[in-house]
Amino acid sequence: MQRPALALHERLGRVNDAARIALRDTRAAIDVQEIGIVQSIGHGIARVSGLPGIRAEELIRFPGGVVGMVFDIEPHDVGVVLFGAQENLSAGAEARRSRSVLDVPVGPELLGRVVNPLGIPLDGGGPVPARARLPVEREAPAIVRREPVRVPLQTGIKVIDALIPIGRGQRQLILGDRQTGKTAIAVDAILNQAGQNVLCIYCAVGQQSTATAHVIKELTACGALEYSIVVVAEGDDPPGLQFIAPYAATSMAEYFVEQGRDVLVVYDDLTRHAVAYRELSLLLRRPPGREAFPGDIFYIHSRLLERATHYRADANGGSLTALPIVQTEAQNIAGYIPTNLISITDGQIYLSPDLFQKGILPAVDVGKSVSRVGGKTQLPAYRAVVASLRLAYTQFEELEAFARFGTRLDDAARESIERGRRVREVLKQLRGRRVSVPEQIAVMLAVTEGLFDRVPVDEVDRAEGFVRDAAMAAAPELSRRILAGDGLRTEDCAALVRAMHASLVQKDWHGYT
């Protein structure tokens, strides 16, 4: 009876030895968590205490899956901007540190999707299977990683491509009063990138649901959603979501830029973005400044738009082009937010309500619009045709306004006015009727050479169609050379003028010869 007891004692001894060896090589891991307490809840913000190690812009998690970002750090509590519904939050709720910053899903899986600034799908297409994430707040690329903007970004809109050109990597502001066609120009620019190897992101900030749905419907109908991402922060979303929306959209774009791709981002619009930031700042009791905006309102937009650039070839060579939209009031382009953005961007496209009411669409005021970079990116063929057109058109507008007073004009002034009216008709363009680069150059050549001078003003649009068809049929090889960046030779211009003149002679507009 002693042998089984002895064997059991030996087995227990071996087990104890193995346990001692295992415990000797084991180190206890201490999981330290900081859990704060919600002191108060406001409209889109929360005050939280009990987080001594918290860091700026750190992500905070609340019960019910609500997240927020640290905005203010005070001696006794922190101000947190909420990104979700706050109905179920109340004072006394727990707030846990995440020890990470806010990030969003990025990658090709987002193409064709409609998401909110957190990357949550809004199109009913299921979760986004993104394999990478990037922080919402990222530093702008260093100067040594940038290179000059040289490649054009064609919009298909004649008045922009010819007179206010945009380059890939440029920041071009679109501003004007409400209902003057700002979003229409931006959407047309997105639609024109089909087949141009340019990805697009449309970021709606504080827009009405119906307006955003209309844009999404148009992108889908034209097949542009295949190469686009739509980021939506609606007007009834928390102000925190509206605030981070442009930064999230830019991070999604930067993923592709770092892969060497060209990306166009439309921010629609930064006026509402500034208003959302002002709301958050006032709720957090930050000191108000001009028009109640906080003192760093310039910085929030500059740090966003500085991320748009053209990268050097040794930095993958991609580009991020920004088209921010801002709304003016009563044609006041000297307002606080518009002037801030004008000073940050590389030019502006101003849409005039007066032109809009007269039916001159797109309602681009050429005199108040400028591109500080685009001239260097414009194709050489453009420069050969429209070098003096902008100045001549601006002078025509001044002369036409002067002639309204009944002043007697000489023959040269009357001819200038008649030519200017036809230039204005040529620059008109219906929504959705985008024009290719060779056709634009042919039309601009025709109007600068005076081929439309004897065409009645109300028939210029029809004459333009004949001119475009004749030019494309007469010189098909020229189109390829223009797109390749070749200049327009004298013999090329002469051949185009002869072909276009012959097409107009055949129509015989009131004795046109």
Backbone angles phi, psi at 339, to 5 degrees: -70, -35
Q: d(Cα 245, Cα 239) in Å, to the nearest integer?
A: 10
Task: Indicate the SS3 state at residue 97.
Answer: strand
Average pLDDT value for the chain: 91
The total number of residues shown for the chain amounts to 513
Which residues neighbour 203 within 8 Å (Cβ) at sequence distance 6 or greater? 230, 231, 233, 245, 246, 249, 265, 266, 267, 268
Catalytic one of 61, 145, 372, 431: 372
User: For 159-169, what is the mean pLDDT?
Assistant: 95
User: For 352-365, what is the mean pLDDT?
Assistant: 94
User: For 140-157, what is the mean pLDDT?
Assistant: 94
pLDDT in tens, 320-334: 999 999 999 999 999
Provide the token pair at 481. 């050379």
Q: Does residue 147 carry a pLDDT above 90?
A: yes
Query: Where does 35-101 sit in CATH, by number?
Result: 2.40.30.20
What percent of the chain shows pLDDT beyond 90? 74
CB-count exposure of residue 491 (10 Å: 0-12, 13-18, 19+)? exposed
The answer to whether residues 105 and 273 touch, using CB atoms and an 8 Å cutoff, is: no
pLDDT in tens, 438-478: 999 999 999 999 999 989 999 999 999 999 999 999 888 89
Residue 1's pLDDT is what? Answer: 45
CATH superfamily of 105-378: P-loop containing nucleotide triphosphate hydrolases (3.40.50.300)
Domain boundaries, the chain: 35-101, 105-378, 383-507
pLDDT in tens, 4-21: 555 655 665 665 666 676
CATH superfamily of 383-507: ATP synthase alpha/beta chain, C-terminal domain (1.20.150.20)
Residue 395's pLDDT is what? Answer: 84
User: For 494-502, what is the mean pLDDT?
Assistant: 92
Which residues neighbour 111 within 8 Å (Cβ) at sequence distance 6 or greater? 199, 226, 227, 228, 229
Pairing of β 78-82 and β 45-49: antiparallel
Sign of CA dihedral 86, 88, 93, 98: negative
Pairing of β 67-73 and β 132-135: unpaired
Q: Which of 61-65, 209-213, 283-287, 384-388 has the lowest mean pLDDT?
A: 384-388
Pairing of β 319-327 and β 173-176: parallel
Q: Does residue 80 carry a pLDDT above 90?
A: yes
DSSP assignment letter at 90: -
User: For 173-194, what is the mean pLDDT?
Assistant: 97
Q: Does residue 92 carry a pLDDT above 80?
A: yes
Residue 245's pLDDT is what? Answer: 98
Q: Which of 185-199, 276-290, 383-397 has the lowest mean pLDDT?
A: 383-397
Respond yes or no: is residue 372 known to be catalytic: yes
Q: Does residue 55 carry a pLDDT above 70?
A: yes
Q: Which of 44-48, 146-150, 340-344, 412-416 has the lowest mean pLDDT?
A: 412-416
User: For 108-130, what is the mean pLDDT?
Assistant: 94
Q: With bands split at pLDDT 50, 70 and 90, how would you rate the model's confidence at 185?
A: very high
Q: What is the pTM of this model?
A: 0.91
